[in-house]
Amino acid sequence: MADSKTILVTGAAGFIGFHLSKLLLESGMKIIGIDSINDYYSIDLKYDRLKQLGIILIENNNKKKYESVIHPHFTFYKIDLQDKNQINSIFELHQPHVVVNLAAQAGVRYSITNPDAYINSNIIGFLNIIEACRNFPVEHLIYASSSSVYGLNSSIPFSVNDNVDHPISLYAASKKSNELMAHTYSYLFDIPTTGLRFFTVYGPWGRPDMALFLFTEAIINDKPLYMFNNGDMIRDFTYVKDIVKSISLLLTKPPQKNNDYFNLNSPGKSIAPYQVFNIGNSNPVNLKYFISEIEKQLGKKANIINSPMQQGDVKITHADVKDLISYIGFSPDTSIEYGIKEFIDWYRSYYHN
């Protein structure tokens, strides 16, 4: 991508947004980062990610300002996506060519007890982003969906051709809503949109509410490790660097109008400039093996407590990524053994443990 291109990344202080911003900055691209830095999990971790990107918070005369001390092509704003006026101001000022919307209220279980957060962030926030893309036209809008949209789907592996009408959490429903909203705007206003259904992303700088982080923390600190559904679960764990490389390859490959759509019969494509892809490792592992590999890397056994399946969880995830590989010529294939080692090395370094 030409250096003159400006990429707007929402959720830039988040797990995936941080890694994507880092990759694109190292590639010489100009990045506009947005994040609300909410307290769903440690804001210190979010600020430490930003420090890795060269962003520091400067306070002067009771005024706060974020400045880049490393990358002259990185500008950061602490903004909530619900603030439509500020979002529009940033689009008007920077005129981004491509938008990657990774900001969202994450967490399947949290959505059961805090539904308002998902409507505000994942629906209203996404509406403000896609409206800005309409009013300040962009070449491509890429946005995060989730494997959670497959819900009660029993066809394995999960394909973008499968029906996703039966989500089992509000988080999943909000992500499917994003796909529907994107299709509508692609059709009505010719906005090229690409939705990405992420499958259990993990790796260094990961979220503290996700399995690898929770399990590692429990084992290191001699705390109980709660293994849901007695370990009878299978997950398509996907290494974060595979995720962001896939996104980087998609930046300059927006979907085109598809006059053959009605012959394709594929929910992942449309007559509009719209497409949806799975991004997964496509080599799922059993939860018991996942835990045993963490134990192996730590050199320490877990204190496992078998627990029932939690509300909103599914037993198996497995991504069919043939369409993605065909489209970008890259296969997310980092091994779970390598990925866990990289995370644990980071965890020990970051927490001095």
Q: Which residues are catalytic?
A: 171
**CB neighbours of 72 closer than 8 A, spacing ≥ 6?**
none
Answer yes or no: are the C-beta atoms of 57 and 68 closer than 8 Å.
no
Q: How many other β-carbons are positioned within 10 Å of the β-carbon of residue 233?
A: 21
Question: Residue 3 — φ and ψ, nearest 5°?
Answer: -60, -20
Q: Are 239 and 285 in contact (CB under 8 A)?
A: no
Q: What is the DSSP string of 250-276?
A: HTT------TTHHHH--TTB-SSSEEE
The two three-digit tokens of residue 206, written as one number: 């990961």
Burial class (CB in 10 A: 0-12, 13-18, 19+), 154: exposed
CB-CB contact of 283 with 237 (8 Å): no
Closest by alpha carbon to 277, among 331, 210, 211? Answer: 331
Structure tokens at 258: 């598809």
Contact present, 280 and 319 (Cβ < 8 Å): yes
